[in-house]
Structure 1
Amino acid sequence: MIEVEHLVKKYGSLTAVDNLSMKIEPGHIYGLLGKNGAGKTTTMNMVTGYIGATSGSVKVCGHDIFKEAEAAKKEIGYLPEIPPLYTDMSVYEYLDFCAELKGIGKKERDEHIVDVMEKAGISEMEHRLIRNLSKGYKQRVGLAQAILGNPSIIILDEPTVGLDPVQMIEMRDLIKELGKDHTVILSSHILSEVSAVCDYIYIIDHGKLVADFAMDEEKAASLEEIFIELTGKEDKE
């Protein structure tokens, strides 16, 4: 579904992603773990085609993200860490705008919007201005735009950052529901979040892949110890 091979991203003398390879299979929720500055967001931005790579390749459902961007991006729904919301729009207006950008026809658009609002739990907010929503509901609106068009892959970058404990639990439940119909990649440095929803883990440190394994009860119980052993205790921004 997603094949990342020898991916490198350099900014001058800084190597943000260093010879990274990984394979994402359909039907799972993947956790991309790492400390702040480990290269998670840069990796996501390359996988989604938001930025180019210095070298290496990314294939999404057989399409090269850098050479066949349009075909590849149709398979991906992306929620960045800071959702790209237009806060002076109502929820419905914003989703209608996003649906048009994604090429969803006028006849099907309303049906798609109603469906994603229901899945994201924001149906009652459709006429509210986005600027008047709580942080949790803004994240839900961002999630709704990510699943517009029913992409096969959903990529979520730090989806629970800034949420209160109740909102975090609600977002985790939404992610689990998405995992029933989509392949999900969840980037986070919050270990409890990853162990609660993911069934496969990739750990990145200083742009390098340092571990990948299937999640089970034993791994979930010792995830903190595994993470610290592989990445160290000190955060490196």
Structure 2
Amino acid sequence: MDIVVEHLTKRYGPQKAVDNISFRVKAGEVLGFLGPNGAGKTTTMKALSCFIMPEEGDVKIGGYSIREHPEKIKKHIGYLPENNPLYQDMNIIDFLEFIAKVHQIPKHLIQERLLDMVKVCGLEGEKHKLIRELSKGYQQRVGLAQALIHDPDILILDEPTTGLDPNQIVEIRELIRRIGKEKTVILSSHILAEVEATCDRIMIINNGRVIVDGTAEELRKQAQGNEILKLGVSGGEIKDIFDQLLEIETIDSIDLIDEEKQLFEIQSVPNESSVKAIFDTCVANNYYITELTPIETKLEDIFRELTLH
């Protein structure tokens, strides 16, 4: 089921939380919605799930508009909000049965759906516990189970690993990856590793606007521009090596990053490679290349560059 967002705008007082956003999510895609706190991620997800109505623009899910057919859309969406509201004094089974009835799942199918959710979300050993007795990680699993119990086509997850310990984060990510093989998933986060580990595509939002959209690999390629190399050279004095490298026309800048190991960071001029020229210069001067590797632009650097302006 495709999601089409068209010119979405939502204000809180004078501030635009979401500012004329448009994008599309294909059926079966896992989209990472990435941005700093306050960027507009949660507001967009609330609009997608028909929780709030935007002032301008529209969202169409499976051809239905959130303005005209919110009740039909809600049947196709599973939503896990950031604060994961659960009834703390209910046990897991009773809570999930209550949610199943809210979704009007036929009575004769409820038991089967409960057993499926307990199995899929790894709740077998905890299913009779009160929700308040569960760890944060297991409460997130219950939140995922309530979002999935009516077998929606689309799953919207707002910061699903907030407050979890590292082991719980890995478990929830793995669970989301498994679910993502069968459903369209939109996952919001401000944690880069999380988005890269679970998503097919990344959309970065800042100040209510989409500023970049693509795969992690595409984002790196867009950001790289200049070739950056890590070069280790021996067989000569650092100053002499430095001077010889500076004569290479395709090299834009050289930094000495480790004097003892004679390691340099070299940036080439745009759209040029310096690898062959470096090799030829070292051969001509009887230098030994101990290391020559490209430095990949980190997703963290791209994120900071795009969102700190």
Aligned counterpart, 1:114:
115
CA distance in 2: counterparts of 1:151 and 1:187, whole angstroms: 18
CA distance in 1: counterparts of 2:191 and 2:218, whole angstroms: 17
Aligned residues: 233
CA contact (8 A) 1:198 1:215 kept: no
CA contact (8 A) 2:92 2:131 kept: yes
Q: Which runs of 5+ in 1 are unaligned?
A: none
Q: Which amino acid aligns with 1:157?
A: D
Aligned counterpart, 2:299:
223
Q: Which amino acid aligns with 1:41?
A: T
CA contact (8 A) 1:6 1:55 kept: yes
- Tell me the CA shift for residue 117 of structure 1: 1.2
- Tell me the CA shift for residue 221 of structure 1: 6.0
1:180 and 2:256 matched = no
Aligned counterpart, 2:150:
149
For 1:72-221, what aligned pairs fall within 5 Å after superposition? 72-216=73-217, 219=220
Q: Which runs of 5+ in 2 are unaligned?
A: 221-295
Compare relative contact order (CA 8 Å, sep 6+) and give the higher one, 1 or 2.
Answer: 1
CA contact (8 A) 1:26 1:183 kept: yes
CA distance in 1: counterparts of 2:74 and 2:297, whole angstroms: 36
Aligned counterpart, 1:53:
54
- Tell me the CA shift for residue 216 of structure 1: 3.3
Task: Give SS of 2:157's match.
Answer: strand
Task: Give SS of 1:216's match.
Answer: helix
- Tell me the CA shift for residue 201 of structure 1: 0.7
1:30 and 2:31 matched = yes
Q: Which amino acid aligns with 2:201?
A: Y
CA contact (8 A) 1:8 1:20 kept: yes
CA contact (8 A) 2:216 2:299 kept: no
Task: Give SS of 1:52's match.
Answer: coil
Judged with a 3 Å threshold, the aligned counterparts in structure 2 of structure 1 residues 168 and 203 are, in CA distance, closer, same or farther, namely same
CA distance in 1: counterparts of 2:50 and 2:209, whole angstroms: 20
CA contact (8 A) 1:18 1:207 kept: yes
- Tell me the CA shift for residue 226 of structure 1: 1.5
Task: Give SS of 1:85's match.
Answer: coil
Q: Which amino acid aligns with 2:209?
A: K
Q: Which amino acid aligns with 2:145?
A: A
- Tell me the CA shift for residue 24 of structure 1: 0.5
Q: For residues 25-84 of structure 1, what are the alpha-carbon distances to aligned partners after superposition, in whole Å with 9 as ceiling and x for unaligned?
A: 011211000000000000000010001101100011111112101111111100001112
CA contact (8 A) 2:131 2:139 kept: yes
- Tell me the CA shift for residue 222 of structure 1: 2.6
RMSD, aligned CA: 1.4
- Tell me the CA shift for residue 227 of structure 1: 0.9
Q: TM-score, normalised to structure 1's length?
A: 0.95
CA distance in 2: counterparts of 1:150 and 1:123, whole angstroms: 19
Q: For residues 99-149 of structure 1, what are the alpha-carbon distances to aligned partners after superposition, in whole Å with 9 as ceiling and x for unaligned?
A: 000110110001011101111101221111001000000000000001111
CA distance in 2: counterparts of 1:217 and 1:23, whole angstroms: 17
Task: Give SS of 1:67's match.
Answer: coil
Q: Which amino acid aligns with 2:32?
A: G
CA distance in 2: counterparts of 1:80 and 1:230, whole angstroms: 26
Task: Give SS of 2:28's match.
Answer: coil
| Structure with larger Rg | 2
